Structure 1
Amino acid sequence: MEHKIALIGFGGVGQTVIELLIQKEQTLHRLGHTFVVVSICDLYKGSIHDENGLDLFKINELVKSNDSLDSYPTTTKLIRGWSSKETIMNTNADTIIEMTFTNTSTGQPAIDHCLTAFKKQKNVVMTNKGPVALEYKRLYNEAQANRVKWYFEGAVMSGTPALRLPEATLVANTISEISGILNGTCNFILMRMEEGISLSEALKEAQQLGYAEADPTNDIEGYDVLYKLLILANVLLDVPLKREDVQVKSLTTISEEDMKIAKQKNAKWKYIGSIKHLPTGTKATVQPELLSMSDPLSAVSGAMNAITYDCDISGPITLVGAGAGKPETAYAVLIDLITLNQEIGGDRNVHSNRI
């Protein structure tokens, strides 16, 4: 079945999605999936649309030569210059892939992009955390009301299936706690601090390696983990957690003396996001925690992510994988597209709590 898609935002992840569609074309066809890109819209690279499908090889060539989409060859069906909203409203795509630069405090412009797509009865696949964390219930209801799908696997642990795994394979379990290392930058910094360097030196090294942004506030102050916790709570636990419900402590509260104490106790500091069901209610925290060596999260090193689901039947299940990166996030987009295609083709609702 041919599935038409439109990319809104065409940065590194979007470009890698195109590469994956080229590289995996035969594999996808063998699995019964044919994805046709009909629209690409980017604030800086330009906007093109062809209802019959764009030439992915030509687009890939333009990207690698650092050229804009304005250099894409003109054809009889080609339309240039649509804004993101115009693209969503006018494209003949079945699914919008939303990958714009979004303000995590407001969730915009991605929230408006989702709402516009839903009203036009288009599915949405996205990688942005903000909209899911801030407006999960509203967007869920809008998608459901318009009988479309909304997927966002890449918003928590990139290509590591932190949402799909528990939804698909831990069904019938009651999950009493979710805890995890949900920020690779912080995990890398703590690893280097264990090896004897200061937090500021470790942060500088993380920036040089590309793990941390020039402004690392979202990482070391816990905002990145906070938003991922909100998604996990709303999607997996059906707990309408808000920002103000989560206690957040900065990574900077960890000192070199704390590191020495951890070594004496044969334990490790990890920056943990945690949601627990307690008799008094739900407790959610983002903070440095001292873990015993028996905790599987203590063994996770470098920029890797990990998450543990405490299940009443299965017991604790820990998933370890990359939490960021262009190929990994592009893979999350691809697996969402494949799942969406399977559900549309088979009229199945595999992920019952995500429409």
Structure 2
Amino acid sequence: MKKVRLSLIGFGVVGQGLAELLQTKRDLLRREYDLDVALVSVANSRHGFIYREEGLDIATLLELAARRQPLTQHPGVRHWSSALEGLQATQADILAEATWTNLRDAEPGLSHVRTALQQGMHVTLANKGPAALAASELLDLARQQGVQFRMEATVMAGTPVLSTVREGMAGVEVHAVRGILNGTTNYILSAMAQGRGYAEVLAEAQAQGYAEADPTADVEGYDVVAKTVILAALVFGQFIKPAQVQRQGITGVTLEQVQQAARDGRRIKLIASLSRDGEQLQASVEPVALPLEDPLAHVDGAMNAITFHGDSLSTVTISGPGAGRLQTGQGLLADVIAIAKTL
């Protein structure tokens, strides 16, 4: 049985989703992958970093989180006030980084990832910030240290996008990518296509948890810009900055425009687009009126989808959930399993 020691920084919705999957799928991991994952450390912003050499009890952690009790109440743990201090003082095979996404300077996640890689730990990300702002540096650092830096959960949560294009489509020369990569905006535009107004649908999305109280990152396209930058790095090997992505959100899309598109046999979707023109990579995030024969035109609600255009496989479209507690946790888990195969 292969034993893997896992450190988890960020114990909010996504981190708890991963922990729950580690608990519920423990027998499957042992049976199908000959893998025993011990969660040896967990950190969050409120309670700091806890560590237990022989592994933490996941049921206890989830119960403490549900009751909003300090994680330090877990029996037999060592404690550091900050995640970075705890990470520097302890050892694990893999770090799963699931803190909040900060697209200004990627902190504190960037420091967590950098420190883990410098210590020879493999890393998997759900946090888009470090990948969007420092992918080149972190991938280089991982290569220098002989470890893996994976980020399946950063694009379409647990829907296997990055692993599909990098491994399942190995040998295909991809020349363009188009995708619906944000559930909030797709939910809004899908409802507007049924004749409802933007403000009404946004309020409904917020009430149902699809949109944040401040929906700017979603509706103005910043979330999709981050994912577009990540795709540029991993699909095309080109490291661009968020400011290099032409961006237009959906706040200016009117009900009249949506209805006119329908009369023209089209549907408006917020589309992330990457295409190679010689050595130049064109990148954009903007509302596009798609013809009905386009598979992306039929992706509705909070679902996401992405289409890869290549040579030996002309068109490959992947659709699935792009957010969610267990869905994003699944992206992290898939990376943990992939990394464990190489240990």
TM range (shorter): over 0.9
Call closer, same or farther: CA 1:125–1:279 in 2, change over 3 Å: closer
Equivalent in the alignment of 1:14 = 15
> Is 1:300 the counterpart of 2:269 in the alignment?
no
1:64 deviation in Å? 3.0
> Is 1:217 the counterpart of 2:216 in the alignment?
yes
1:190, 1:310 → 2: CA distance? Answer: 25
1:244, 1:55 → 2: CA distance? Answer: 43
Q: 5 Å matches for 1:296-335?
A: 296-335=295-334
1:88 deviation in Å? 1.1
> Is 1:63 the counterpart of 2:65 in the alignment?
yes
Call closer, same or farther: CA 1:252–1:60 in 2, change over 3 Å: closer
SS at structure 2 position matched to 1:229: helix
Equivalent in the alignment of 1:256 = 255
2:272, 2:219 → 1: CA distance? Answer: 13
1:213-254: CA deviation from partner (whole Å, max 9, x where unpaired): 011111111101111000001111112222232111121221
1:47 deviation in Å? 3.0
2:99, 2:167 → 1: CA distance? Answer: 28
Equivalent in the alignment of 2:34 = 32
1:41, 1:152 → 2: CA distance? Answer: 19
Same amino acid, percent of matched pairs: 36
Q: Is the 1:182–1:305 Cα contact (8 Å) retained in structure 2? A: yes
1:193, 1:68 → 2: CA distance? Answer: 43
Equivalent in the alignment of 1:48 = 50
SS at structure 1 position matched to 2:186: helix
Equivalent in the alignment of 2:227 = 228
Q: Is the 1:102–1:109 Cα contact (8 Å) retained in structure 2? A: no
Equivalent in the alignment of 2:142 = 143
SS at structure 1 position matched to 2:341: helix
Deviates more, 1:39-48 or 1:222-231: 39-48
1:244, 1:35 → 2: CA distance? Answer: 39
2:158, 2:279 → 1: CA distance? Answer: 35
2:183, 2:189 → 1: CA distance? Answer: 10
SS at structure 1 position matched to 2:11: coil
2:195, 2:167 → 1: CA distance? Answer: 42
Equivalent in the alignment of 2:24 = 23
2:176, 2:43 → 1: CA distance? Answer: 40
2:172, 2:108 → 1: CA distance? Answer: 36
RMSD in angstroms over aligned alpha carbons? 1.3
- Count of matched residue positions in the alignment of Structure 1 and Structure 2: 341
1:77-123: CA deviation from partner (whole Å, max 9, x where unpaired): x3123421122112221111111224222111111111111111111
1:248-286: CA deviation from partner (whole Å, max 9, x where unpaired): 112122112211211211110111000112248321111
1:21 deviation in Å? 1.1
TM-score, structure 2 normalization: 0.96
SS at structure 1 position matched to 2:105: coil
SS at structure 1 position matched to 2:342: helix
1:11 deviation in Å? 0.8
Equivalent in the alignment of 1:191 = 190
Equivalent in the alignment of 2:5 = 4
1:319 deviation in Å? 0.2
Q: Which amino acid aligns with 2:217?
A: N
TM-score, structure 1 normalization: 0.93
Q: Is the 1:38–1:91 Cα contact (8 Å) retained in structure 2? A: no
1:132 deviation in Å? 0.5
Q: Is the 2:132–2:229 Cα contact (8 Å) retained in structure 1? A: yes
Q: Which amino acid aligns with 1:29?
A: R
2:94, 2:280 → 1: CA distance? Answer: 38
Q: 5 Å matches for 1:82-161?
A: 82-161=81-160
SS at structure 2 position matched to 1:10: coil
1:274, 1:143 → 2: CA distance? Answer: 28
Q: Is the 1:41–1:82 Cα contact (8 Å) retained in structure 2? A: no
SS at structure 2 position matched to 1:41: strand
1:239, 1:252 → 2: CA distance? Answer: 30
1:92, 1:136 → 2: CA distance? Answer: 24
1:116, 1:286 → 2: CA distance? Answer: 32
1:105-157: CA deviation from partner (whole Å, max 9, x where unpaired): 21111111111111111111110111111111101111111112111110111
Residue segments in structure 2 that go unaligned for 5+ positions in a row:
none
Residue segments in structure 1 that go unaligned for 5+ positions in a row:
345-355
